[in-house]
Structure 1
Amino acid sequence: MERNVTLIALFAALIAALGLIPPIALGFGVPITAQSLGVMLCGTVLGAKRGTLAVLLFLLLVAIGLPLLSGGRGGLGVFAGPTAGFLVGFPIGAFVIGLTVEKMRVGNLAVIAGLAAMIGGIVVVYLFGILGFSFVTGKGVGASTTIMAPFIPGDVIKAIIAGVLTQALYKARPASVLSRA
């Protein structure tokens, strides 16, 4: 129990720390942040339940006003802004990622974790993000999808990184990858 609480807090801190990394511009000018990589790692490393709890803890800290989101944002206002759907999608995405890694026991862990991160961290999170953006801005779902689409290549890169990091951690310390325990 104590180990679980520690890991949940540690991964919530990891998401926050990744938000401190300045945005990196892809070759075609779209800035990407590292924060969603933390969400992906919550699922691939901690599994469905613990990964979701880590993301929920992070969001609770944001909600009480800590400036932990990329760009130093925090407070309840971020949950009413154009990116609020992504925040809602984060814990659901972490759950889907963790569940996928837990259930897919056959094959290369880097590939499984990378694909799980793409399913939960891109498909699921973007579903909520696009719908939330559409709702808040009043733009149609098609227009919102067009606006968000340029950010997907950066998230694919993060999903691949999550897969590689999860595999490396599993090789170094198999017991530390709780999604495989």
Structure 2
Amino acid sequence: MNRRTPTTDVALIAGFAALIAVCAILPDIKTGIGVPYSLQTFGVLLTGAALGPVRGFLSVTLYLVAGLVLPIYSGGASGISHYTGVTAGYLVAFPIAAALCGFLVYRNRRGATQFAFVFTCGLLSSFLVVHTLGPLNLAWRADLGLKEAFSIDAAYFPGDIAKNVVMALVATAVHRAFPDLAGRRHSTEVEETSAA
């Protein structure tokens, strides 16, 4: 039977919000090609893939709200000013991307343990939401043309693909270890029910 409880859900939401914060404040990964990559989007998409659409959305939203007062945004930043700057579109996109990733993964719960499926869900969510709202806001705030804004954003594609590879590896391992996370019963419980 499903072992999810409100207390467990609250703990997971808070725990994954903390995980995103840790990913965000870790030093950026230097690539040598002038584009540093943070692990923030890795944490956001992992949260959606692991927790599903509702809990994933709430967890990322909790992280964003906490970042208004705590230095837990990328690079150890904080404050409401980040929602009026050139990167605001990315922040706004995060809970939506987590929800979409969670929705896609949880629609096919058997697929939650399959790397290719989870990777595709994460990549779609990243490109449809993060890499759309991000450059749209960039074009608006920085007074750039859409083509130029999307060209700037494209520099982050290789890093996001790599982060989605790692995200899918971790998420599928989590779902294999904790099948109840997505409301699935352990295989032993299924066998016992069938035998009875």
Contact persistence 2:26–2:75 (CA under 8 A): no
Match for residue 149 of structure 1 among 140, 147, 154: 154
Paired residue secondary structure (2:155): helix
The equivalent residue for 2:23 is 18
Aligned residues: 179
CA distance in 1, matches of 2:77, 2:180: 35
Paired residue secondary structure (1:28): coil
Match for residue 52 of structure 1 among 43, 57, 68: 57
- Whether 2:106 is the aligned partner of 1:102: answer yes
CA distance in 2, matches of 1:135, 1:162: 30
Gaps of 5+ in 1: none
The equivalent residue for 1:114 is 119
CA distance in 2, matches of 1:157, 1:134: 26
Alpha-carbon displacement from aligned partner over 1:56-87 (angstroms, at most 9, x marks no partner): 00011112x21101111111000111000000
Alpha-carbon displacement from aligned partner over 1:16-46 (angstroms, at most 9, x marks no partner): 0011221112252310001111100111100
Contact persistence 1:102–1:180 (CA under 8 A): no
Paired residue secondary structure (1:15): helix
Q: TM-score, normalised by structure 1?
A: 0.93
Instruction: Return the letter of the residue paired with 2:53.
Output: A
Alpha-carbon displacement from aligned partner over 1:111-166 (angstroms, at most 9, x marks no partner): 11111111112331111101111111110111001111111110111111111111
What is the percentage of aligned positions where both structures have the same residue?
A: 36
Shift of 1:180: 5.9
Distance 1:105 1:2, change over 3 A: closer
Match for residue 12 of structure 2 among 7, 15, 20: 7
RMSD: 1.6
Gaps of 5+ in 2: 1-5, 186-196
CA distance in 2, matches of 1:5, 1:164: 24
Paired residue secondary structure (2:144): coil
Match for residue 172 of structure 1 among 177, 181, 187: 177
- Whether 2:71 is the aligned partner of 1:86: answer no
CA distance in 1, matches of 2:89, 2:162: 21
Q: TM-score, normalised by structure 2?
A: 0.86
Shift of 1:105: 4.1
Distance 1:179 1:70, change over 3 A: farther
